[in-house]
Structure 1
């Protein structure tokens, strides 16, 4: 049994004693509340079969980040991530620093912990544990040093080579296919976009940020959850029907394929989706704006055909992520 489960069990036995106390010290109060919520979410998402999560103390993370030294800030995308050192291991300490405390943020961070701990894949950022002693939990992940795909697109005037872009698409497709199939209940990421694709020391792509992720229990229709995500990347059919499924991730992945194709961020340049659809209707398979596509015609046509299938309005007309991953492997094998 997990350390915090033992703690909660003890708290349950002594709940009458707890009620007699007017107020707990902050970190004790947060630990009990967050621990209970985390356990509840684990049980709900894994049908009672919780997975052990290492619990770090606030003191350990203070020490790992030298009291959150601002010189160790690694990134500020929705959360503030510090580069830390825990017993000689480099880690990313993901804090809600600078964010307004709310039920949404509490849910967002707990959701990452519950979902990410279930995933063990070489192209998914690994969760090492979390701290529950703060108002919003703090996450501890493996340290990924080379930024996000969106940063590289926005800051680099020279795009990645086409072979690298195909490789990145392959790596993330494999990760998402794994999420959909690893458990009896599929994990829907709901936030696949270039911001959430990080690069390790060898520029291997890893999927991150599971704050919007949902595990769909068996027997559920996918309409039990509120509609969530980043609007520009959300499946339009999902927005209309509120029905969540694996095909929602397929749509978002298709938009990521366009970001790799055009080397532009859809949130900044939303017109590229319409531009792509128009070009495909006109028969211009694989026209790319940055002019760097060096693949042969067959490769170009196969890639753009796949992207167009992924962003079909109706989910039933889109391929599964297993089919997407298989097709991308085939495309990479076409010799330019």
Structure 2
């Protein structure tokens, strides 16, 4: 009995130490990110989190990256619980607090996964978010592919994510650059509305400045080459990533694509796109699930939209010589215009 009591006391003490450390670091980040203006964030107990995830049982996981997303239930409400894995903690330990802070600041936007609260009783915080009924755009079993979705849904997803990132760029005292825009960080609610998530790699640009220097981070094929070469973080970092994400939505694969004629089985997405366009094989770019199974064709109005969609993506990627990359607000406007084309 004494041994059991001692273990309980030790466990309680560890929770208290974790709580004190995390509360301090989180509050510091929240004040820095929001300029001191923020809404209170609800905290959950470690017991609630462990019960909801069955002790972080992978059978409850729906998506995995540098972290694992678990489906769970707290107080009879279905939620999504985000737990960072050990490898990511060695790479970006402090950025978890930024993820919570920026997620909280962005939660009012309809195209951002709403943060319900967090648990600070573990060695590193755990996030609790709303549950999107249609899950992850790329789930545990999708590999490099995405769910089979209609063209109008994919176009809407691109526009909605551009809207969310525009908000991130324009609605706070300092421009915030996400640096982690990719299909894996998008969820879909019951109405197939896109929900952007994951802001751990976000970084603010100082007021009055157009860039900030920082270490290179993000998903490698998706990082702007200029940022990789110089370490300068500008708005173009997000514009480039959105362009790559846009192409992935059309093709149905994330970042790399199978190419049977190469010694290596994968080719960069941008190389594949330029090769297809150069050979006049636009249809080859389109996810086969969107093609007419009889003649491998698409309706004329959809093709007009798709061609404009690809051209915009290539401008975002800086692959149209003589044309400047568009600003994110202009990308969002242009995607809205493409949606209206018939």
| Contact 1:109–1:139 (CA under 8 A) maintained in structure 2 | no
Residue number in structure 2 paired with 1:25: 13
Cα distance, 1:113 vs structure 2: 0.4
- Aligned residue runs from structure 1 range 242-253, under 5 A: 242-253=231-242
| Contact 1:45–1:216 (CA under 8 A) maintained in structure 2 | no
| Contact 1:262–1:289 (CA under 8 A) maintained in structure 2 | yes
Residue number in structure 2 paired with 1:57: 45
Match of 1:106, SS state, is coil
TM-score, L = length of structure 1: 0.82
Cα distance, 1:277 vs structure 2: 3.0
| Contact 1:72–1:82 (CA under 8 A) maintained in structure 2 | yes
Cα distance, 1:155 vs structure 2: 8.1
- Give the stretch that moved more between structures: 223-232 or 279-288: 279-288
Cα distance, 1:161 vs structure 2: 2.0
Residue number in structure 2 paired with 1:113: 100
Residue number in structure 1 paired with 2:170: 181
Alpha-carbon displacement from aligned partner over 1:197-233 (angstroms, at most 9, x marks no partner): 1112232211111121122231445334322111110
CA distance in structure 1 between the partners assigned to 2:105 and 2:221 by the alignment: 27
> Does the alignment pair 1:277 with 2:274?
yes
- Cα separation, partners in 2 of 1:157 and 1:183, compared to 1, 3 Å: closer
Aligned residue among 26, 31, 35 for 1:38: 26
- Aligned residue runs from structure 1 range 86-125, under 5 A: 86-96=74-84, 98-100=85-87, 102-119=89-106, 120-125=108-113
> Does the alignment pair 1:302 with 2:302?
no
| Contact 1:189–1:213 (CA under 8 A) maintained in structure 2 | yes
> Does the alignment pair 1:332 with 2:339?
yes
Aligned residue among 200, 207, 210 for 2:196: 207
- Give the stretch that moved more between structures: 319-328 or 60-69: 60-69
Match of 1:25, SS state, is helix
Cα distance, 1:38 vs structure 2: 0.9
Cα distance, 1:130 vs structure 2: 0.9
Cα distance, 1:329 vs structure 2: 1.1
CA distance in structure 1 between the partners assigned to 2:13 and 2:178 by the alignment: 36
| Contact 2:236–2:327 (CA under 8 A) maintained in structure 1 | yes
| Contact 1:105–1:136 (CA under 8 A) maintained in structure 2 | no
Aligned residue among 65, 68, 76 for 2:64: 76
